[in-house]
Amino acid sequence: MVPRKRPVRAIPVKREPEIENMRQAGRVVAMTFRKVGAAIRPGVTTGELNMIAEQTIRIMNAQPAFLGYNHYPATACISINQEVVHGIPGPRVLKNGDIVGVDLGAIVDGWYADSAYTFAVGEVSEETQRLMAVGQGALDAGIAAARVGNRVRDIGAAVQNYVEARGFSVVRDLCGHGIGHRLHEEPQVPNYPAPDGSGEVELRAGMTLAIEPMVNAGGPNVVLEPDNWTFVTADGGWSVHYEHTVLIRENEEAEILTTLR
């Protein structure tokens, strides 16, 4: 996730050997989510989840993508309830009824993959379940729009339309991004059809994108906490975050790289 900003520069297109490294990184990310997800329960600390994430990534001969990135102090971003993204793990204890968004990435031979998922902690309310379902559906809608010949704005429009038709809002100050040899590459991928030039980028085979809807139960506005990392909703409503790294393919649906196959 990156803040919305800057004009568009050159869009990298990946070759098959590079894509295969990203597939490997994606498998590491997916396995890490499997391990972290199995550990989420009331009484666990966010620091313990971060430790599981780092150990899993390193055991699989990969490197954590986030640790040390712009001085970020952990392997995973772990955000609870009204925290949208970039929560710093530590001694905070998960409680029954919480939701916890986990965002993490891995590097294999210099190539990146990045994903996020929001988990329920114990039993959550029906409205929270609905928020989570809409977040997942928004990601699916965005990925379905990631096709050759479409433009970046089509991804954003698909996400926004899906979310707002169900009574929720998308965060506009933060967005997805290209990914590959760097964690954050061009183009930016907003979760709405941005009016600037970024939305006009045409999708081509070989592009790799991190599509990541951030969906709020209330309004779309976010505020940066004093730690200069954690974004929270401005109105205190809860938020969910879902993300996959995908490959744009010729005459086919986008390939999800951050899933176990």
Structure confidence by residue, pLDDT tens digits, 125-178 = 999 999 999 999 999 999 999 999 999 999 999 999 999 999 999 999 999 999
Torsion of CA 235, 236, 237, 243, to 10 degrees: 100
Q: Count the alpha carbons within 13 Å of 169 in the hemisphere toward its beta carbon.
A: 17
- The whole-number average pLDDT for the span 104-132 is 98
43-77 pLDDT, tens digit each:
999 999 999 999 999 999 999 999 999 999 999 99
Name which of 191, 203, 135 is nearest 158 in CA terms: 191
Q: How far apart are CA 196 and CA 47, in angstroms?
A: 39
pLDDT at res. 194: 81
The mean pLDDT value of the chain amounts to 95
pLDDT band with cut points at 50, 70 and 90 for residue 190: very high
pLDDT band with cut points at 50, 70 and 90 for residue 3: low
Name which of 102, 175, 163 is nearest 130 in CA terms: 163
pLDDT at res. 260: 75
- The whole-number average pLDDT for the span 234-256 is 97
Examine residue 261 and state whether it is found in any structural domain, yes or no: no
Q: How far apart are CA 142 and CA 211, in angstroms?
A: 7
Q: List b or e across 230-244, with b for residues whose CB sees 16 or more CB atoms inside 10 angstroms.
A: bbbbbeebbbbbbbb
pLDDT at res. 202: 94
Share of the chain above pLDDT 70, in %: 95
Q: Is the pLDDT of residue 5 over 80?
A: no
Q: Is the pLDDT of residue 26 over 60?
A: yes
- Sign of torsion, CA 38 44 47 51? negative
Q: Is the pLDDT of residue 195 over 80?
A: no
Give, rounded to a whole angstrom, the gap between the first and last alpha carbons of the chain.
Answer: 25
pLDDT band with cut points at 50, 70 and 90 for residue 6: low
Q: What is the pTM of this model?
A: 0.95
pLDDT band with cut points at 50, 70 and 90 for residue 8: low
pLDDT band with cut points at 50, 70 and 90 for residue 7: low
Give the domain extent around 80. Answer: 2-256
79-91 pLDDT, tens digit each:
999 999 999 999 9
Q: How many domains does the chain have?
A: 1
- The whole-number average pLDDT for the span 230-234 is 98
- Give the DSSP per-residue string, the chain: -EES-S---------HHHHHHHHHHHHHHHHHHHHHHHH-STT-BHHHHHHHHHHHHHHTT-EESSTTGGG--SSEEEEETTEEE-PPPSSPBP-TT-EEEEEEEEEETTEEEEEEEEEE-SS--HHHHHHHHHHHHHHHHHHHT--TT-BHHHHHHHHHHHHHTTT-EE-SSEEEEE-SSSSSEEEEE-SS--SSGGGGPBP-TT-EEEE--EEESS-S-EEE-TTSS-EEETT---EEE-BEEEE--TTSPPEESSS--
- The whole-number average pLDDT for the span 205-231 is 98
CATH number of domain containing 233:
3.90.230.10
